[in-house]
Chain A
Amino acid sequence: MSSRTPRASGYFRTGYAQQFALLQTRLETRSLVLFVIALFAFPFFASAFYIDLASQVFLAAIGALALMLLTGYAGQISLGHAGLLCAGAFTTGILAQELHAPFWITVPAATLVGALLGVVFGLPSLRLRGLYLAVSTLALHFVVVYLGGEYESKRGFSTGITLDAPTIGGWTIYGGKVWYFILLAGAALTLWICLNLLRGRTGRAWRAVHAHETVAAALGINVAAQKLLAFVISSALTAMSGALFAYYRGFVSVEAFSLFLSIQYVAMIIIGGMGSLLGAILGAAFVTIFPYAIEAALMRLPDAQSYAGVLFAVNYAAFGVVMILFLLFEPLGLVGVWRRLQTYFLLWPFKHRPLERGRK
């Protein structure tokens, strides 16, 4: 780790320590420090609206990172992500409402429930692949949401469960800025977990399972166990995100966890770029900010108020169009655009690499 060489000029790593290092170059270290400072400074300069937006991005990023682990790395398709979010949110809601459990119990409990559900969601993956697996997770999503709705109607919370502001050691967590930092910490923790999983043995095993199951098994990887592990970790993180979502909103209702939410999460990792953690974060930001951008654009048009009623329909249509455009024309997502930009500047004034090999 003594010499930090620029990545651009070639592959200079000579030891495992260097291979595992997260930051390769001085520029990377500096830009990371600047980025962290910017993240910490942001809530002190931005308005409440932008703080809320950033918090939503962090929440979405946790879920998107979890889904990226599962789909982008382990190669297991899931359309049931909203069901897991729902499970996390409802566990939190039920524990807080019925037992008045504090924050530091409900969130781990939700994570645990998520992990258990991960086993349930993952069991079909032992037998099914591709399309059929996606379908089975889709079906489980409906079952979980149904159970949530059943609880709501049987216990008389027909409009949803309200949650009090959580307290930790006498501190009440309240206000946009405090939540901003909590969700930032949550997202950073998730990113850290993902990074460590992926550069270790587990991550390599997942990539092998993704690439070819038979070969992975021949290499001594327990394919079934690794698949289940991917589902369990991904689901636990997602449920944690759901629990934080419940506290952040102060309100839990099954209506929030429609199939559309699952699709939004899948869209995040597609738009961001499959097989990249940066992609998950970029995608989460894109999909979260997108409806607000559409709204802002619509309000600029003349006669703005008349569009207010159809706003959600415009959102739907525009979201569908964007998703189709990415699938058709940029399957690598935003990360693909970013890498192309990087390559362009690295190689300038040339257009192509001297020897085209698999880009990292």
Chain B
Amino acid sequence: MKKAFKDTDGYGIIANWMAEKGNTPFDFQLQTWESYANNYSGVVVAPTGFGKTFSVFLAVVIDYLNNPDSHKKGLKLLWISPLRSLAKDLAKAMTAAVEEIGLDWTIEVRNGDTSQKDRRRQERLMPDVLLTTPETVHILFSQKNNSKFFKHLKCVAVDEWHELLGSKRGVLTELAITRLLSLTKDLKIWGITATIGNLEEAQNVLIPYDGFKTKMIVAKEKKKIEIVTVLPDDIEVLPWAGHMGTKMVSKIIPIIYANQTTLIFTNTRNQSEMWYQMILNEAPDLAGQLAIHHGSIDFTLRNWIEDSISDGLLKAVVCTSSLDLGVDFKPVDCVIQIGSAKGIARFMQRAGRSGHSPYEVSKIYFIPTHSLELIEAAALKQAVKEKRIEAREPMVMTFDVMIQFMVSLAVGEGFDSKKLYEMILRTHAFQFMTKDDWHWAIQFITQGGNTLNAYEEFHKVIKDDDGLYKVKSRRISMLHRMNIGAIVSDAMLKVKFFSGGYVGMVEEYFISKMKIGDHFILAGRVLEIVNIKDMTVFVKRSKSKSARAPSWLGGRLPLSSYLSQYLRIKLAESLEPKTSEKELKFLHPLISQQEKHSHIPRLDEFLVELIETKDGFHLFMYPFEGRLVHEVMAALIAFRLSQIKPLTFTIAMNDYGFELLCDQEIPIDESNVEQLLSKENLMDDVIGSINASEMASRKFRDIAVISGLVVQSQPGNRKNNKSLQSSSGLIFRVLEDYEPQNLLLRQAYTEVFNQQLEEVRLKAAFERISHSKIIIKHAKSFTPLSFPIKVDSLRQSLTSEDLDSRIKRIKNEVLRSTQI
């Protein structure tokens, strides 16, 4: 069989073409081509830089060269990738390849940026290869007569599948594929992914269909990663988040100069703005060679920055996850990660942004922003060595996405209820959907809800005379097309110069707290607000020194559970570090301070600290489970404590632990601590301790937008459908009152439990604690572990100036008391 494939004309042509360029195919490419030729679908797992694109793309080309007659005119390969920017460059590379091979294929991109003219042309005759996004595929589905576009499709390829999996965009992709299967015969499905913890599952989610031969092809080639931790000059025995930053700037500058192009990753847009300013202050020479890139910066400006990186015009770019993915920038030879990357996969992915050629080493510098992050550096190193990478959990039963899909089809060609039900049931996401659920969904889009309550004048989707469900109103069709997709952004305002020129976007939430004449930083510039009108903030340049960097909501990612596990291991080992672990050795003064005045928890221990200060009685616990879980745990412990004695607490937390502060003594000691941390009645107590309805209402925001209950206004768009504006919170309330059985409401509660409360992780944490020895320590002042949590809580209520002096005061108190 193998010989036969290598004897084919198609393979010969490709092998020759590669040989002419001095290349030989990697094993995994060869395997993919051969599997494809043998009618397999599957998943290719390969690191970036090894030509994973060409594994699937050339497989289709070879198949065409071998069987030209079985391919008809029109679309042959549909390439779905999560990023628009990726498509442009991929299309270029693919076009170059087919031209050199001598194939008359057209390769085109279609997404939100495609011009009206090009779209109409594509609709008349589809190119041979179309590169697009999941959203655009669904927009295609909402057009009249769209099934003819896909009639002769041979392969659907999903690039960066690991990025889509685990999000609602992944569900959009699943739904797109199940529909494509109904439109064309013998479709092959291929996914391309980076290494993740659940590859098997990733493949099953992409290809759950009966009758498919599947194969997982894992590249042997590995990307080498070199991790360098940049140590500060001296150790802060009392660390606090963010503080070390200013001191570390001077350490970054030489790294920037020593490399050709450096990407500097920060975790939030806010941080990226701050670091951009700090680097420029420290090294004014870099002006013009330093850029800033994040999701709120004008699209064309971002494109310009990306092009400039490719052309080697920039020395460094401060960025956020906005550059995690995307085009391979050849000149980038160095990556700097500022602060915790919060996850192993993300850290490795960022590291991989440098040294893109095969076998080149990816170099990443880790800059801790407080001393404790040095433990994280040690944890990351070990995790990377052991290749323990987080899993991406696929989303299921996301009815908002399903409703959107149903309406898209109704806007397009219309659908038959029974056929569509069976089609959707075949996907991984909806395999457990019941007939009742489906019935509800049909009712929701045709009548608005329960028949008992009248939904007068609601005619979104209508069952037509031919038995198909269709949308007849042009207005509803138009509104729906505008709303297709699963990325819900906060209400954003455009930021424009008064004199003309577009700067970027800020969240409405941030601007709502500011007044005309206030200053803020965006895209590295200090701006003064002149006017706010039509979803646009008009600004002028300002020389003001004091300006706020916008804090975009949702910027704080919690620590991944894999990383937190390594963190606990490293902390436990930190008293006797291996000689190779310079981070832990460096941290020794802090560790010994913690051990002396409190305790360093070993792997089978759980530390509880009780500290009494002028502010009151503090209770600290250190589960190391990430911010979100701590938020829930803190509320839960407060709830259980208040059952012993009615008390009021102030809650604070970070990724390592949480604090409960009370003005009275907290009734906790060896006799009841196990009871307080018990896993019994866990979820009941959690529900008692939180306001689930409030949390669900927040989760409902995305659901309402995706399912079309809230019309998103387009920033700067004149037609912002003002009379249809309403908040998702309002709709949530109305539905809770009048339609409590609405599946979208239920979905919001489910999402609270899965994502906000991280039920699985929470249970696992309590399970672990129940097997641990609980150690209670009384300390006279803040310990190295508790101090960062304390500072984080101060930050919320104080301005930054007050904060500095306040922290200094607390530090002095601590140092005085520990010296005695």
The answer on A and B forming one complex is no
Chain B residues within 8 Å of A, Cβ to Cβ = none
Chain A residues within 8 Å of B, Cβ to Cβ = none
